[in-house]
Amino acid sequence: MKIKILGTRGKIEESKPYHSKHTGYLLDNTILVDVGEREFLDKKPEAIVFTHFHPDHAYFVEPKEEFDPGVPVYAPENLKLVKGLEVAEGKFKVKAYQFTPIPVIHSLKVKSLAYLIEKGDKKLFISGDVAWIEKKYHDLIEGSDLIITEASFIKKGGQIRRKDNQIFGHTGVPDLVRIFKPLTDKIVFTHYGSWFIKDVPEGRKKIKSLQDDEAELISGYDGMEIEF
Ligand SMILES: [Zn+2]
Ligand SMILES: [Zn+2]
């Protein structure tokens, strides 16, 4: 599998070269996961999969534009703006790829899914935005060749908020490392917060400093390609 990271900027005002585009991943030039920028459609994907309908993952939700790409669209929930949407309930197949949706705790307003994507013996996990992933799902993620996750906050605990016993927001990079390093050898960070964009070399160092023998930690950038 080859994954191209189209955008690595989180939902922030700041922008830097190589970190100017919002979220999007192109899998083998075929499937687009999240569409944080309209221009990602120029890649002419044959199917589109959304982790959740926040504007930095779905460029059309804030201007409330209709989204009618003319290819199958899979998402955690229905949205009137999106034509031809199929709600991802249970495993589904897109071409040769098997998608297993995994519920993620992130927002009180929109449903969020991570995806385990399998083709042959290759296994990729894309987390989307994460406040937490319940322990019962960790077994499914185990043995991933690659995990792509977010880096909104570098501090432990991130920025978790609470309402009526429900948590939401983003956990911290150290917490994500702790969850994911037993489950893979390689973790790629995307969806950077201001802490990273303000000083990119320093941000990359901070991520690298959390690395140990268990897993390699990689700072993603707009346009990065990883083959595995
Ligand atoms: Zn989000
Ligand atoms: Zn986001």
DSSP label at 176?
H
Provide the residues around ligand 2 (an ion) whose CB is within 5 A: 11, 56, 129
pLDDT in tens, the chain (228 residues): 999 999 999 999 999 999 999 999 999 999 999 999 999 999 999 999 999 999 999 999 999 999 999 999 999 999 999 999 999 999 999 999 999 999 999 999 999 999 999 999 999 999 999 999 999 999 999 999 999 999 999 999 999 999 999 999 999 999 999 999 999 999 999 999 999 999 999 999 999 999 999 999 999 999 999 999
pLDDT given for residue 183 in this prediction? 98
Q: CA angle 25-28-30, nearest 5°?
A: 80
Decide if 134 contacts 103 (C-beta within 8 A). Answer: yes
Collapsing DSSP states into helix, strand and coil, what is residue 114? strand
Distance 43 CA to ligand 2 centre (A): 21
Question: Which 8-state DSSP code applies to residue 38?
Answer: G
Residue type (1 letter), 53: F
Strand 73-75, strand 2-7: pairing: unpaired
Q: Give the Cα separation of 206 and 165 in Å (integer).
A: 32
Whole-number Å distance, alpha carbon 100 to ligand 1 midpoint, is 19
Length of the chain, in residues: 228
Domain boundaries, the chain: 2-227
pTM, entire model: 0.97
Q: Do 167 and 105 touch, CB atoms closer than 8 A?
A: yes
Question: What is the Cα Rg of the chain in Å?
Answer: 16
CATH 3.40.50.300 matches 2-227: no
Going from the Cα of 72 to the center of ligand 2, the distance in angstroms, rounded, reads 22
